[in-house]
Amino acid sequence: MEKSLILVKPDGVDRGLTGTILSRLEGLGLKLTAIKMLKVEKELAEKHYAVHRDKPFFNDLVYYITSSPIVAAVFEGSDAVSRIRKACGATDPAQAEKGTIRGDFGLDIGRNTIHASDSPETGSAEVETFFKPEDICDYSRIT
């Protein structure tokens, strides 16, 4: 089944939006299969954002995601990746539609409240970056 890693970024956790965000994703009928709160170490942040290592905002990205605790979770389901990306909205909250997570809660392009995997392949890889295989729980979701 397709997997997506989501991270409730520091601005989401700090403003008490974790439950609201997870609830929206559960509301899509997707299955929550792993969840944890953590303070991201620099090494993990650099691995997670490696694709952006040559971008001018890379250091800010790593600094921000390591600045305060986040909540990492895995959601599974058919088309989980694209459905979650749609629920998140555009990267820049100023461009994101109302009714999307970033459109409703994002503060600016850095503090845009949520990370979500952008393809099934990155979904699987990002889940492995944040979770051990034994951390993933399987059960039957009643829709």
Residues known to be catalytic: 115
**Which residues are bridge partners to 3 per DSSP?**
76
Residue 89 CB neighbours (<10 A): 23
Whether 31 contacts 137, CB under 8 Å: no
Does residue 48 belong to the site contacting ligand IDP (CB under 6 A)? Answer: no
Residue 48, contacted partner among ligand IDP, Mg ion, none, CB below 5-8 A by kind: none
Binding mask 73-112 for Mg ion (x = CB under 5 A): ----------------------------------------
Please give the single-letter amino acid code of residue 110. Answer: G
The whole-angstrom distance between residue 132's C-alpha and the CA centroid of its chain comes to 17
Does residue 125 belong to the site contacting ligand IDP (CB under 6 A)? Answer: no
Does residue 120 belong to the site contacting ligand IDP (CB under 6 A)? Answer: no
Distances (CA, A) of 56 to 11, 61, 131: 21, 10, 28
Residue 112, contacted partner among ligand IDP, Mg ion, none, CB below 5-8 A by kind: ligand IDP
Whether 8 contacts 18, CB under 8 Å: yes
Does residue 63 belong to the site contacting ligand IDP (CB under 6 A)? Answer: no
Shortest spacing between CB 108 and ligand IDP, in angstroms: 8
